[in-house]
Structure 1
Amino acid sequence: MSTKQQKEFLIKLAHTKMPFGKYEGRYLIDLPEYYVVWYSNKGFPKGQLGQQLQLVYELKVNGLENIVRNIKAQYNKP
């Protein structure tokens, strides 16, 4: 993935909301950590949503959620 693609992926992640379930409509980065950990144990969905949730998991586990929140504030929704 090129640098431009990574940037676009992060901007899209910052503006993506959960499309279903208990937390439908909540930004992925704002999902509770226990919920993302549950997905990590259960298995992430296939496709782009799964990739985004995997990254959210890594960011939350490492305390880096503010990176995505800053991106959301700095860049408009694609």
Structure 2
Amino acid sequence: MENTKNSKVAMAIIAGLAVGAATWYFMNSKNGRQHWETLLDAANDITDKFKKASLESSKSISNHVSNVSSLLKDGIKIS
């Protein structure tokens, strides 16, 4: 039981050191800041693409629902 506790503490310390090292790299070095900006730009591009795809999908779904609704109102059976 004691080994498990020690392992968890060791992993937490290692994870903290890794986060600290990454933060130092991204915030205190010129290359790190450039990489950080590149990562942020890529994240923003991906987010914009997801938003666009989501909007297009919701428009498509809305059109399909509207078409089915119109068909049902007109009394046409869908098979």
TM-score range (shorter-chain normalised) is under 0.3
Structure whose alpha-carbon radius of gyration is higher: 2
Q: Which has the higher contact order (CA 8 A, sep 6+)?
A: 1
TM-score (norm 1): 0.27
Higher helix share: 2
